[in-house]
Structure 1
Amino acid sequence: MVLAQVGYSILYLITEASFNHGMSPYVYVTYRHIVAAVLMFPFACFLERNERPKLTFYLFMEIFVLSLLGVSLTTAMHFASLKYTHPTFVVAMLNTIPTLTFIIAVALRFEVVDLRNPRGLAKVLGTLISLAGALIMTLYKGLIMRNLWPPLIHMPGKSSAINESWLKGSLLTVSSCVTWSIWYIMQAATLKRYPAQLSLATWMCVVGSAQSVVFTVIVEHNRSAWIIGLDIDLWSTIYGGVVVSGLIMYVLLWCNEKKGPVFVTMFNPLATILVAFVAYFILGQKLYLGSIIGAFAVIFGMYLLLWGKSEQAQISQCTSEEPECRI
């Protein structure tokens, strides 16, 4: 999981460099998932040939919606926000996904909250603190933290329009987090009917790529945007498709099977710290006080929420599987 978060941190920095170089985020998302689909297809065909259930029309429509929520539309919004904000902000906002997922699950009655129980109270307080941190990061910038030394690595800078479009980028980031939260809940339901995880991921990349092609053709009117050379645009696309959508996806599935989703989610703040460290100390990017305060609130609230859920899960497992440990 530590290696996976390192991989995610590199992703955000290399894609920001690519977008600053001029690559369209929508073209990037399309090419990235095409690369991932080509990579995963042979593994899904051979490794899960006896595990895949029959693909019905209803299942395909579920995969279509999953692809829209988790691959094409959401990912396009997510990476488009990098044009108007910084990687530190984008990665920190991803820590609100467990909180948003919890809120939606409670609204849909997938999650029960008992305020008389300390663990239930911790989940509510963690949710409120995390959302407060997200609002601080979105609406409050505050003082600029002065860089301690000149940047060790120079990257193409963004235009001054980023200051005017910060709210636009924030709304795109928050919207992507909400749709990803819905995607996680829907994904859990789909996996019960289609338990072949690798095949499901491959289907989502294939369908999501087709959706991205249609979406990009509509919003990207510059035909030259589809052309990439032997530069940072190509390497960011290959890295995103092979390492993130391919290798890291497999690592996450393996860790999820071994340790469970709570264990996997608890490592999310590590990417926030790594990106902030590299962006500020190595790339010399600006860091705002509001981002620091908001990030700490988001991380603290998320861990409080996960503590309440993990302790509750341990007691439930102990009660149902090990009667002797009830005492």
Structure 2
Amino acid sequence: MALGGCMSGAFYRRFKPHLLMVLAQIGYTFLYFITEASFDRGMNPHVYITYRHIVAGVVILPFAYFLERKTRPKLTLALFAEIFVLSLLGVSLTLNMYFTSLRYTSPTFIASMVNTIASMTFIIAVVLRQVSPDFCRLEVLNVRSNHGMAKVIGTIVSLAGVMTMTLYKGPLVKNLWGALIHIQGNNTIHENWLKGSILTVVSCITWSIWYIMQAYTLRKYPAQLSLTTWMSFIGGAQSAVFTTIVQHKPKAWMVGSSIDFWSIIYGGVVCSGLIIFIQLWCTEQKGPVFVTMFNPLSTILVACLAYFILGERLYMGSILGGVIVIVGLYLVLWGKEGDQKHETESQAQPNLMNEDQKEAKIQVISTAEKEMV
């Protein structure tokens, strides 16, 4: 019994970041359906972003204040400016561009582009590591090692899986039963592929930079709850200013139905609060590339739930692409585990050498003392 408990505890400690990121993607999956229902009933996306992050800040503030009261670093003006930029990249600018692009392109195109964030983050992290020593801990890449090649190949394979899900339909998978839930919308898409594509691409780039900047900021401000609170309040304020500029109707700020209310609560408490905190913790433990590599899982889960619950069409291309994404994800995670183990062993070797030297010095001193006696 004791041995089994030790083994299960060691397994949990080793794979805790993996389990947390899977739970985070499950949370994002449910967000997709509840926000889609809310937007279809007339909820303004920009107002939703504002309310969602204000709710997140209010909910997390007490936990951040009391739990991190002794460990929270002093907030300087330079650090506040950095958090301001971090909020702009991860909350107000990115999310508002993302939801605006939904009006001009197809959801399939946006889903494929969002899933390229992992590849973008990996590339940017490797480039920044070469440019500045301040980013040396972002991502280790040694193409001469098996683990380094696994990360490169896994990133390419995962990207290929995303493209397969998007560009290749294949035969239609027959649904044996009808939709369990019906969502009727009144939204119309006014296609403008140039404008929508630019907005989507820029939002993915800023999202990738946001993940990388998180790792950099956490070194100076290692208080995940407090950082989440600051980003929620600052991002909500930034979004409110943007929404006021683009939306002049006071009626848009009204929460019209229960689904609007619950989408704001769920998005604020679970996604902008709990999940962002989980991502910050995993970023500090494993790095930004590790966090972004789990993003395609939400697309796979959304496709499955949409097929089984909403009765939407599912093609063999989506199934094939999902399998390829999982293979690529496994390769990257295997490569990162190997690199992290190698780095830990490399850091442990100097410590062992220092300990051996100390022991040798002690033995020499003891021998000298005996000779004097």
With structure 2 as the length reference, what TM-score do the two structures score?
0.74
Q: Structure with the greater relative contact order (CA < 8 A, sep ≥ 6): 1 or 2?
A: 1
Distance 1:81-1:285 versus aligned 2 partners, 3 A rule: farther
Partner of 1:201: 228
Q: Would you say the 8 A contact 1:128–1:301 is kept in 2?
A: yes
How far 1:80 moved relative to its partner?
Answer: 4.0
What secondary structure, in the 3-state scheme, does the structure 1 residue paired with 2:141 have? coil
Gaps of 5+ in 2: 1-19, 131-135, 353-373
Partner of 2:15: none
Q: Would you say the 8 A contact 2:172–2:316 is kept in 1?
A: yes
Distance 1:177-1:106 versus aligned 2 partners, 3 A rule: same
The separation in 2 between residues aligned to 1:56 and 1:252, in whole angstroms, is 24
Which among 144, 152, 172 is matched to residue 124 of structure 1? Answer: 152
C-alpha distance after superposition, 1:35-89 (max 9, x if no partner): 0011111221221122222222111110111000111111223344555544x77
Which among 207, 210, 235 is matched to residue 183 of structure 1? Answer: 210
Partner of 2:237: 210
Partner of 1:277: 304
Which among 60, 63, 80 is matched to residue 40 of structure 1? Answer: 60
The separation in 2 between residues aligned to 1:57 and 1:254, in whole angstroms, is 24
C-alpha distance after superposition, 1:234-264 (max 9, x if no partner): 110011111222233445556677x745876
The separation in 2 between residues aligned to 1:132 and 1:270, in whole angstroms, is 14
**What is the identity, as a one-letter code, of the residue corresponding to 2:24?**
A
- 1:313 matched to 2:333: no
The separation in 1 between residues aligned to 2:232 and 2:312, in whole angstroms, is 33
The separation in 2 between residues aligned to 1:174 and 1:284, in whole angstroms, is 30
Instruction: For 1:1-327, list aligned pairs within 5 A.
Output: 1=20, 2-82=22-102, 84-86=105-107, 94-108=114-128, 109=130, 110=136, 111-136=139-164, 140=167, 142=169, 145=172, 148=175, 149-157=177-185, 161=189, 164=191, 172-252=199-279, 260=286, 268-287=295-314, 291-321=318-348
**What is the identity, as a one-letter code, of the residue corresponding to 2:40?**
N
Percent of aligned pairs with the same residue?
A: 60
What secondary structure, in the 3-state scheme, does the structure 2 residue paired with 1:161 have? coil
Distance 1:5-1:147 versus aligned 2 partners, 3 A rule: same
The separation in 1 between residues aligned to 2:307 and 2:278, in whole angstroms, is 28
Task: Report which of the two structures shows the higher radius of gyration computed on alpha carbons.
Answer: 2
How far 1:200 moved relative to its partner?
Answer: 1.1
Is 2-11 or 244-253 further displaced after alignment? 244-253
**What is the identity, as a one-letter code, of the residue corresponding to 2:244?**
V
TM-align CA RMSD: 3.2
With structure 1 as the length reference, what TM-score do the two structures score?
0.84
How far 1:167 moved relative to its partner?
Answer: 7.6
**What is the identity, as a one-letter code, of the residue corresponding to 1:28?**
Y
The separation in 2 between residues aligned to 1:72 and 1:228, in whole angstroms, is 20
Is 110-119 or 167-176 further displaced after alignment? 167-176
Is 164-173 or 146-155 further displaced after alignment? 164-173
What secondary structure, in the 3-state scheme, does the structure 1 residue paired with 2:242 have? helix
**What is the identity, as a one-letter code, of the residue corresponding to 2:69?**
R
The separation in 2 between residues aligned to 1:276 and 1:284, in whole angstroms, is 10
The count of residues paired between Structure 1 and Structure 2 equals 321
